[in-house]
Amino acid sequence: MASMVALTLPSSSSSSLALSLSSLCAVGSLDHGAFVPNVSPSRTCYNGRVRCDLSESLKHVNGKPVLPVVTERTLPKFLESARMDRRVDRRVDRSSTRLKLFSGSANRLLSQEIACYMGLELGKINIKRFADGEIYVQLQESVRGCDVFLVQPTCPPANENLMELLIMIDACRRASAKNITAVIPYFGYARADRKTQGRESIAAKLVANIITEAGANRVLACDLHSGQSMGYFDIPVDHINCHPVILDYLASKRVCSSDLVVVSPDVGGVARARAFAKKLSDAPLAIVDKRRHGHNVAEVMNLIGDVKGKVAVMVDDMIDTAGTITKGAELLHQEGAREVYACCTHAVFSPPAIERLSSGCFQEVIVTNTIPAPQSHFPQLTVLSVANLMGETIWRVHDDCSVSSIFQ
């Protein structure tokens, strides 16, 4: 009988990766506004703790607060850049650093967590809407000659948040910022990346052009729907793979590795599921074949692979109406799967997603906070934070260090 072991990232060469992902992904504890973060030598340190005062209260999921992913451990050596050569026992001085971090209104909580990890305070910015719906943006501190990062996902309402991002970029450009990086945890319109029928638009390319023309010098995005979307931009794009956060969480589950199977909910996600399975104890792969009769409408036809008596982990980049992944889970149960987990980076959760996901098909639904947590919670929902991962990426971009080495 196979012994029960914790899921681990395979191969001897991945031991340092497992250590680094634990540093970036482990969950910390709350202590009345002060977090115990992943402290690096250039971060603020007061008697071994880092201060982080959130301007708004933490949101709760299943009765527990959605916390930044922070730990007491320091970053491993290979994650330390040149800026970490010596310890500085004080908060990063915003008057001396040329890095400025601003947040839009779409996901301010994530922006605060990123700033907390980086030892910075969010830049002061005034964003308001006039009575007719027009958006007004004013930077309330100088950014002349600075490296500016604007955190704003284009999640629902997509058009509102996209327009807000464009106006923020324009405000920074007109304020003589040296470099402007659009940090887009969730890139809306990414699914419109090709023509599937005649006379269709390719909105992903259009949005990429608009962001570039607004004045952005670089884009930092998480788990784009398809890799070719990076090619739509005429400026550099740093692509953050958020799977390590989910993998680190799954590694804490006590499941027999021989009982695991990773399932792609559709044929288009096979490459994503294969990469995920390789890092999850090199688990076998199964594919759900579906035929779509219309937008946001999916019908499952059959299953490729064996899931009988196994713990199935369904992996996708996003869950919108949850039609695809729910029908896939029903098929997996029909084929004899013991438990079904749903994992995705972007929890769009358009109606009736909550009702479908809480119907009992899933043992657990694991998502990240690239999009704000839904107002309606359900017991199976687990929200993981990608703040540390994004914060480290922002530091590396600012320091002209390698980003890809984080994921190797």
Per-residue pLDDT of 239-266, as tens digits, reads 999 999 999 999 888 888 889 999 999 8
Lowest mean pLDDT among 7-21, 110-124, 236-250, 332-346: 7-21
Q: Give the mean model confidence (pLDDT) for residues 325-336.
A: 94
* Helices and strands (DSSP H and E) totals, the chain: 9, 19
Q: Give the mean model confidence (pLDDT) for residues 292-300.
A: 64
Give residue 212's pLDDT.
Answer: 97
Q: Beta-strand (E) ranges in 171-245?
A: 179-184, 218-222, 237-240
Q: Which fold has domain 12-193+202-242+387-407?
A: Rossmann fold (3.40.50)
Whether residue 344 is predicted with pLDDT greater than 50 in this model: the reply is yes
Chain segment 34-60, per-residue pLDDT in tens: 333 333 333 333 333 333 344 444 455
CA distance 85 to 225: 37
CA distance 304 to 335: 11
Whether residue 20 is predicted with pLDDT greater than 50 in this model: the reply is no
Side chain identity at 328, as an amino acid letter?
Answer: G
Asked, as a colleague might, if the bond just before 157 is cis with ω within 30 of 0, I would say yes
Domain locations in the chain as residue ranges: 12-193+202-242+387-407, 244-384
Global pTM exceeds 0.85: no
Q: How does residue 358 score in pLDDT terms, banded at 50, 70 and 90?
A: very high
Nearest to 392 by CA among 20, 54, 94: 20
Give residue 42's pLDDT.
Answer: 39
* Residues in Cβ contact with 361 at an 8 Å cutoff, skipping those fewer than 6 apart: 326, 329, 330, 333, 340
Whether residue 347 is predicted with pLDDT greater than 60 in this model: the reply is yes
Give residue 374's pLDDT.
Answer: 84
Give residue 293's pLDDT.
Answer: 66
Give residue 95's pLDDT.
Answer: 53
Give residue 208's pLDDT.
Answer: 97
The answer to whether 12-193+202-242+387-407 and 244-384 have equal CATH topology is yes
Give residue 15's pLDDT.
Answer: 42
Q: Give the mean model confidence (pLDDT) for residues 358-375.
A: 94
Lowest mean pLDDT among 65-69, 83-87, 336-340, 381-385: 83-87
Nearest to 355 by CA among 385, 319, 306, 402: 319
Looking at domain 244-384, its CATH architecture is: 3-Layer(aba) Sandwich (3.40)
Chain segment 99-135, per-residue pLDDT in tens: 999 999 999 999 999 999 999 999 999 999 999 999 9
Q: What is the DSSP letter of 46?
A: B
Whether residue 10 is predicted with pLDDT greater than 80 in this model: the reply is no
Q: Give the mean model confidence (pLDDT) for residues 340-358.
A: 96
Give residue 290's pLDDT.
Answer: 77
Chain segment 191-227, per-residue pLDDT in tens: 999 998 999 999 999 999 999 999 999 999 999 998 8
Please state, for a pLDDT cut of 90, what percent of the chain lies above it.
65
Q: What is the DSSP string of 81-134?
A: -GGGSS---S---TTT--EEEEE-SS-HHHHHHHHHHHT--PPPEEEEE-TTS-
Q: What is the DSSP letter of 302?
A: E
